[in-house]
Amino acid sequence: MTSPQAREEAVLEAVRKRRERVNEAIPENLPIRRPERLYEASRYLLDAGGKRLRPTVLLTTAEALADVSPLSVDYRSFPTLDDAQPDGTAVGGRDASAQSSAVIDVMNAAVSVEVIQSFTLIHDDIMDDDDLRRGVPAVHREYDLETAILAGDTLYSKAFEIMLETGAKPDRTVEALDVLATTCTKICEGQSLDVSFEKREDVSTEEYLEMVEQKTAVLYAASACLPAVLMGADDETIDALYGYGLDIGRAFQIQDDVLDLTVPSEELGKQRGSDLVENKQTLITVHARDQGVDVENLVDTTDVDAVSEAEIDDAVATLEESGSIGYANEMARDLVEQGKARLEVLPDNDARELLLELADYLIERGY
Amino acid sequence: MTSPQAREEAVLEAVRKRRERVNEAIPENLPIRRPERLYEASRYLLDAGGKRLRPTVLLTTAEALADVSPLSVDYRSFPTLDDAQPDGTAVGGRDASAQSSAVIDVMNAAVSVEVIQSFTLIHDDIMDDDDLRRGVPAVHREYDLETAILAGDTLYSKAFEIMLETGAKPDRTVEALDVLATTCTKICEGQSLDVSFEKREDVSTEEYLEMVEQKTAVLYAASACLPAVLMGADDETIDALYGYGLDIGRAFQIQDDVLDLTVPSEELGKQRGSDLVENKQTLITVHARDQGVDVENLVDTTDVDAVSEAEIDDAVATLEESGSIGYANEMARDLVEQGKARLEVLPDNDARELLLELADYLIERGY
């Protein structure tokens, strides 16, 4: 039995190593080319950092499915599930009798998902008129509004181009593109709900969870199920992995809302408590309102740049007293446990173990 | 020999009939659903009108390829080229020996292309801060900036979802998605060049034509080649149709730039001469500068809402004197002839005749 600290360090190390590979892959899939300013703006946020959690989920799921040791196989020449195993059976395979398929580039799928994430951040920052992201100016601040809209639009189609080039069989590529397209549609729907909630004071827990599922969780779900789609896993495996991603994605967003209140601004890379200032609905505010807290007047300042740390401290204390932060923590924990249980469809191997630990990490992380 | 007037009326009638079918198809492929405000904003420009020229090119190309009488076959149950002809050969077919494929929904491809066009208009209007489009307020004016960005983003992924559902064979669907994704990337690149040209006074004819190819012509090229891709035509046919679309698309944009100067504001649905006010580079201004015209000072007013008709009249007179409008007309005519010549790969039928006439119409239209 390893200690919690040792376990967390092992997860961080696993994330770090995959992040390095993803960081190497991004310029390969998305080189700066003419018109340079457009591509520089498209790469700006991608190059500014990011934990690459979604690509890590995707690459680790691929390893678990292929039943290979973590980091032992080149992600750009990755085995599918089409080859029969030594005992003549296939692991979760759909058509073991079909002829052996060429290897696929599962890194392309990982980069595609991160590129979609980056496109949504660029456009979201315009919509929220946020100044900072990942500790650097938002793209529409570093460049301008036109360039930021276009950079997001360019990343959007590039994500599809990159996903089209994994080398997977055509029917699986079609299915992967369908996952990608419907995921993007749901993200837009979720963002639209999020914007509309800012003007409402009667958002229910159910509505909030629906919004979070669409805005955030579907991209985790896509990340977890795409390797299964591209490698030719059966529908039961694909569905279970989608469910795992949906659960941990919702937990991730709930934890993100908690961290917006509890982590110092320097570590967050943006103003702590900005959600409260911008009147964003979170599970915490929805719960607090149910407890009789006057959520709309928790923070009087309406400008993120003008709010004081003391004002945020007072608001957080109120939300702790009402049990709302604890409620959010508990909900995130339940979702993570639900998601972990779904991984029983995977072979019992080190990569699956890592997916279980990644789920815990999403709600135990400090930022 | 029919008269030019009779020919133009026949083209307009053909466009009108296809437009009606496309207008019926759009709500089927893009119903208003939750969140309603998002989908209403996404449909706003599509419902406001539009000539549906790109879908018309696509549907008519499909008819020419299938060698069927115009409007005689349901676009949603359209034949592919997989069936051998009575004499045992296939028309432009890739694999006549393969088993008969089910019919495909070529209307989906037509709607997908129109949805992409609509997404680019919504985002372009934000970037140019234009107030009017098709005689109605731009989406970011009728709704707001957030909703307009999101409506465009929603249409973007919906176009891919719709193109994924034509029922074509997986390898052809993959190729069609590749055409769609690379087309979107090029449109973004072209728009980026267009924006950067506004700050430059030394744009060459070659640079202008490159920009127009990317910003406008590639979507015509996609429209012309996509039925060939989805129906299983050979590469020579696909390439020739792509070239036809590229040529008539460039001609269309050049003519659009001419019309911006010569058609009354009421007919245009926006202020006449707005390109000059906004300092947009067109083939006309590039040519005029080469002739020594002080293009930057043709119109002193910098606000589209404040410019007078007299000021535009003077500018247009100068551009006519320098031969620049005539030069643009001639270039558009040459491109149309070049594009028409490429249609020799198609069977000689009524639909091909219509594609030839459509090419002429693009530069003879009054608005």
- Tell me which of B115, B129, B150 to substitute to probe the interface with A (most A C-beta atoms closer than 10 Å): B150
- Asked, as a colleague might, if the bond just before B35 is cis with ω within 30 of 0, I would say yes
CA dist list (Å): B307 to A255, B232, B319, B327:
53, 52, 17, 26
Query: Is A181–B164 a contact, with Cβ atoms under 8 angstroms apart?
Result: yes
pLDDT at A88: 41
CA dist list (Å): A226 to A240, A276, B37, B359:
12, 35, 31, 43
Q: Residue A268 — pLDDT band, cuts 50, 70, 90?
A: confident
User: Is the predicted pLDDT of residue A87 greater than 70, yes or no?
Assistant: no
pLDDT at B84: 47
Mean pLDDT of A342-365: 95
Query: Is A184–B157 a contact, with Cβ atoms under 8 angstroms apart?
Result: yes
Q: Residue B129 — pLDDT band, cuts 50, 70, 90?
A: confident
Query: Is A195–B170 a contact, with Cβ atoms under 8 angstroms apart?
Result: no
HSE value, Cβ hemisphere, 13 Å, CA-based, for A307: 23
Q: Residues B220-232, buried b or exposed e (16+ Cβ, 10 A)?
A: bbbbbbbbbbbbb
pLDDT at B33: 96
CA dist list (Å): A99 to A81, A102, A227:
11, 10, 19
Query: Is A153–B34 a contact, with Cβ atoms under 8 angstroms apart?
Result: no
| Strand ranges in chain A using DSSP code E only, listed in sequence order | 132-133, 136-137
Range of weakest confidence among A49-63, A166-180, A194-208: A194-208
Q: What is the pLDDT of residues B153-207, one digit of tens each?
A: 999 999 999 999 999 999 999 999 999 999 999 999 999 999 898 888 889 999 9
B255: distance to nearest CA of chain A, Å?
A: 25
Average pLDDT of chain A is 91
Query: Is B185–A38 a contact, with Cβ atoms under 8 angstroms apart?
Result: no
Q: Residue B28 — pLDDT band, cuts 50, 70, 90?
A: very high
Query: Is B149–A126 a contact, with Cβ atoms under 8 angstroms apart?
Result: yes
Query: Is A161–B146 a contact, with Cβ atoms under 8 angstroms apart?
Result: no
Would residue B3 count as lying in a domain? no
pLDDT at B296: 87
Q: What does the DSSP assignment read for B293-328? A: --GGGS-----TTT--HHHHHHHHHHHHHTTHHHHH
User: Is the predicted pLDDT of residue A97 greater than 50, yes or no?
Assistant: no
What residues contact residue B143 under an 8 Å CB cut-off, 6+ apart?
B37, B41, B44, B151
Q: Which segment, A9-13, B261-265, B337-341, is predicted with the most confidence on average?
A: B337-341
Does residue A301 sit at the B interface (CB-CB below 8 Å)? Answer: no
Higher pLDDT, A300 or A175: A175
- Tell me which of B32, B115, B160, B215 to substitute to probe the interface with A (most A C-beta atoms closer than 10 Å): B160
Closest CA to A293 of A194, A210, A201, A206: A201
Higher pLDDT, B35 or A84: B35
Query: Is A161–B185 a contact, with Cβ atoms under 8 angstroms apart?
Result: yes
Mean pLDDT of B285-298: 93
User: Is the predicted pLDDT of residue B95 greater than 70, yes or no?
Assistant: no
The most distant pair of C-alpha atoms in chain B lies apart, rounded to whole Å, by: 67
Does residue A35 sit at the B interface (CB-CB below 8 Å)? Answer: yes
Range of weakest confidence among B2-11, B37-46, B208-217: B2-11
Cβ(B186)–Cβ(B267) under 8 Å? no
User: Is the predicted pLDDT of residue B11 greater than 50, yes or no?
Assistant: yes
Would residue B62 count as lying in a domain? yes
Mean pLDDT of B89-102: 50
Mean pLDDT of B95-114: 79
Q: What is the pLDDT of residues B60-87, one digit of tens each?
A: 999 999 999 999 999 999 999 997 444 4
pLDDT at B8: 83
* Cα A70 from Cα A66, distance rounded (Å): 10
pLDDT at A128: 84
* Number of neighbours of residue B98 by Cβ within 10 angstroms: 14
User: Is the predicted pLDDT of residue A122 greater than 90, yes or no?
Assistant: yes
Query: Residue A288's domain is classified under what CATH number?
Result: 1.10.600.10
Does residue A164 sit at the B interface (CB-CB below 8 Å)? Answer: yes
Q: Residue A1 — pLDDT band, cuts 50, 70, 90?
A: low
* Cα A142 from Cα A136, distance rounded (Å): 8
* Number of neighbours of residue B329 by Cβ within 10 angstroms: 16
Would residue B191 count as lying in a domain? yes
Residue linked to tokens 């430059």? B200
* Cα A15 from Cα B29, distance rounded (Å): 41
Domain extent at residue B55: 11-364
- Tell me which of B37, B149, B158 to substitute to probe the interface with A (most A C-beta atoms closer than 10 Å): B149
Phi/psi of residue A86, nearest 5 degrees: -50, -35
pLDDT at A367: 66
User: Is the predicted pLDDT of residue A361 greater than 80, yes or no?
Assistant: yes
User: Is the predicted pLDDT of residue B96 greater than 50, yes or no?
Assistant: no
Query: Is B149–A149 a contact, with Cβ atoms under 8 angstroms apart?
Result: yes
Higher pLDDT, B300 or A60: A60
Give how many domains chain B has, as a whole number: 1
Does residue B177 sit at the A interface (CB-CB below 8 Å)? Answer: yes
Would residue B211 count as lying in a domain? yes
What residues contact residue A135 under an 8 Å CB cut-off, 6+ apart?
A48, A49, A269
Q: Which residue of A has its CA nearest to B173?
A: A174
User: Is the predicted pLDDT of residue B99 greater than 70, yes or no?
Assistant: no
- Tell me which of A117, A150, A207 to substitute to probe the interface with B (most B C-beta atoms closer than 10 Å): A150
Would residue B70 count as lying in a domain? yes
Query: Is B174–A178 a contact, with Cβ atoms under 8 angstroms apart?
Result: no
